[in-house]
A = this chain, B = another copy of it.
């Protein structure tokens, strides 16, 4: 892969899973291929899990890692050509990306959706510009439309816990007080479409995701029907795609609780965290032995380390 932007860059999902298993068995032994290579982790938005797991993955590979917090406010980048830069933007993306590409062998970038302009967000201006101007492989640490390192970690987790060859996986919308991006839901759907699972997406009307990501998943607006016989329940809130960035519905009837989990095939509960308890999911469900939220988070190190090891292999064969 040239970059790790989305699932299309990983090649065979099954081979990537096999590699992840092997890394997880010995995450810090024998994997020193990153020695004397460097990665910059560039955050335009806050991060906890991604920031920590990405550093840990790079350290496990003995890469030199530098974290760069720019904030979406503190370092205004200019993306347009021809602008007279006499305003707030102090640097053009061409120089910003070019310089960072000169300092690092790899750049990983987080840049959230604005949730204001759908066309702009879905054009992925930040990641696209870095891929164009940095001259080094770019890794998506959550962009406007996708969070593939999360989805890969989720798939690793499902693979570890599945009891049938082809589990039934339900991605369920759940209520949240604030408007959230689509990135996690999009990528989860996209990766599940490539994996050996049956994917059902359930949400209230008005919360349809971009069909490009939904793929061949079954969509169901009756949550109870969707849950029947499920092996994994993946909860996530997202704002509307049609009525872009809006919160249409906050009814707690969509919260994941024990009653609903009993409709399933003793399903595992999943969420990418951070999670608002008793909004998204009841304490009873997330505190149960079937909750995999910590395991998912732990696998964020493994998904990043797997991607980095693939990029390092590609680099050393250049």
Spell out A's residues near B (CB within 8 Å): 28-29, 36, 38, 40, 46, 48-49, 51-53, 55-56, 59-60, 64, 66, 68, 70, 74-75, 78, 81-87, 89-92, 94-96, 98-100, 102-104, 177, 273-279, 283, 286-287, 293-294, 297-298, 301
Contacts and interface: CB of A to CB of B under 8 A. Distances in A.
A52 B100 contact: yes
A190 B68 CA distance: 31
A85 B278 contact: yes
A8 B62 CA distance: 36
Identical chains in the assembly: 3
B294 A102 contact: yes
Contact of A294 (B46, B74, B78, B98): B98
A273 to B, nearest CB: 5
Nearest to A81: B283
Contacts of A275: 91-92, 95
Nearest to A271: B95
Contacts of A92: 275, 277
Nearest to A101: B294
Contact of A273 (B91, B177, B276, B277): B91
B78 A277 contact: yes
Nearest to A32: B36
Contacts of A293: 95, 98
